[in-house]
Amino acid sequence: MKINADLHLHSCLSPCGDNDMTPYNLVNMAKLLGYDMIALTDHNSCLNCPAAIKAGRQAGITVVPGMELCTAEEIHCVCLFESVDSALAFSEFIHGTMPPIKNRAEIYGEQRIVGENDEITGYEEILLHLASSVTIDEVASLVKKYGGACFPAHLDRSSYSVLSVLGFLYPEMNFTAAEFTPKADAESYVEKHPLLKEMKLLRNSDAHYLENMLPPFQQLELEECTPKALIKYILGE
């Protein structure tokens, strides 16, 4: 079946995410825009995924729990999971790999953890946009251990992308998919980086504000509209 999907969205937990980007608001905006599936991928944390999944159940839209991991090289990778439990276990592991530097909300923005009714249940104290100690070579196998799948984010961006940091992809990264921004000329990247020929090429919005969410621009052919089917698709299984 064809699924309208945006697999890279930030909530108010991300220091750079708008406080109006609550799990409830972003899920319902996605529903209004016509999505069948979205993923919540805050920087280095999955703590708003439980609320987003509950909001998704109410709204009738599939929410995939996820995270945008910042590797030791400062490369962003979108990591997606089958269940909220595996996402939370991964999130706890990543928390332990982060430098113990506290967020300064007045500079970087608040990092709100929100419950199912948009109530603030806490604030993440460590600064989430710093790099974890997990390396780019470790990400794919680590995420797979948690039953998930991952891909390097926004390849066409000039910062925090594998191409802007390292300049190339190599087989040992073991990526089965890669992400571009919605308007990127992905074909020109495929010509320069032949490894991309073997990968699923995804496009996601990376919206941090409700007004930056886009009408559907990508349809994925999945067996069913579930996180499990999506992960199978990304892994090419």
Nearer to Zn ion, 76 or 203 (CB): 76
CB of 224 to Zn ion, least distance (A): 26
C-beta of residue 149 within 8 angstroms of C-beta of residue 231: yes
Give least dist CB 117 to Zn ion, A: 25
Closest approach of Zn ion to the CB of residue 205, in Å: 9
Residue nearest to Zn ion (CB): 76
Residues β-bridged to residue 114? 120
Three-class SS of 158-222: CCCCHHHHCCCCCHHHCCCEEEECCCCCHHHHHHHCHHHHHCEEEECCCECCHHHCCCCCCEEEC
In angstroms, give the least distance from the CB of 99 to Zn ion.
Answer: 18
Nearer to Zn ion, 110 or 116 (CB): 110
What's the min distance (Å) between Cβ of 9 and Zn ion? 8
Considering the complex, state which of residue 41 and residue 62 has its C-beta at the smaller distance from Zn ion: 41
Task: State the Cα–Cα distance between residues 234 and 202, nearest whole angstrom.
Answer: 9
* Adjacent-strand bridge partners of 67: 42, 79
Element (H, E) at 66: strand 62-70
**CA gap 215, 210 in Å, rounded:** 12
Q: Give residues in contact with Zn ion (CB under 5 A).
A: 68, 76, 153, 160, 206
CB-nearer residue toward Zn ion: 14 or 86: 14
Pick 6 or 68: Cβ nearer Zn ion: 68
CA atoms within 13 A on the CB side of 31: 17
Q: Rounded to the nearest whole angstrom, what is the least distance from the CB of residue 70 to Zn ion in the complex?
A: 8
Contact 61, 38 (CB under 8 A): yes
Nearer to Zn ion, 166 or 228 (CB): 166
Residue type, 26: L
